Amino acid sequence: MLYKYSEIKTVHLEITDKCNAACPMCARNINGGEDNPQLPNTELSLQDIKKIFDTQFIEQLERIYMCGNYGDPIAAKDTLEIFEYFRNNNKIMLSMHTNGSAKKPEWWAKLARVIGRKGYVVFSLDGLEDTNHLYRQNTKWSKIMENAQAFIDAGGRARWDFIVFAHNEHQVEDAEALAKKMGFEKFQYKKSARFFSNVAGTTKEMHQASNRKGVPTTLLQIPSNPKYRNAAIDKMSEVAKEDSKIKFLPSRVIDIEGTLTKQYFSKDVTKKKPMEKEWDTVPIKCKVAEEKSLYISAEGIVQPCCWTAGQMYLWYYEPQGGQIWDYINQVGKENLCAINRDLESIVNGKYMQELIPNSWQKSSCADGKLAICSKICGTKYDPFAEQFK
State the alpha helices, DSSP H only, in the chain.
46-52, 55-60, 79-86, 105-115, 132-135, 141-153, 172-182, 231-237, 253-256, 274-281, 287-291, 306-309, 325-331, 343-347, 350, 356-359, 371-377, 383-386
- pLDDT per position as a tens digit, 173-208: 999 999 999 999 999 999 999 999 888 888 999 999
Q: What is the pLDDT of residue 387?
A: 96
Whole-angstrom Cα distance, residue 212 to residue 255? 13
The pTM assigned to this predicted structure is 0.96
Q: What is the pLDDT of residue 243?
A: 64
Which stretches in the chain have pLDDT values below 50?
Answer: none
Q: What is the pLDDT of residue 246?
A: 61
- pLDDT per position as a tens digit, 161-181: 999 999 999 999 999 999 999
DSSP 301: B
Whole-angstrom Cα distance, residue 159 to residue 175? 12
Q: What is the pLDDT of residue 363?
A: 96
Which has the closest alpha carbon to 78: 58, 112, 102, 49?
A: 49
What is the separation of C-alpha 17 from the centre of its chain, rounded to a whole number of angstroms? 11
Q: What is the pLDDT of residue 259?
A: 95
What does 82-120 look like in DSSP terms, one character per residue? Answer: HHHHHTTSTTSEEEEEE---SS-HHHHHHHHHHHTTSEE
Boundaries of every domain in the chain = 5-98+192-386
Backbone angles phi, psi at 220, to 5 degrees: -75, 130
Q: What is the pLDDT of residue 247?
A: 67
**Rg from Cα positions in the chain:** 20
Q: Could you give the 3-state DSSP secondary structure of residue 129?
A: coil
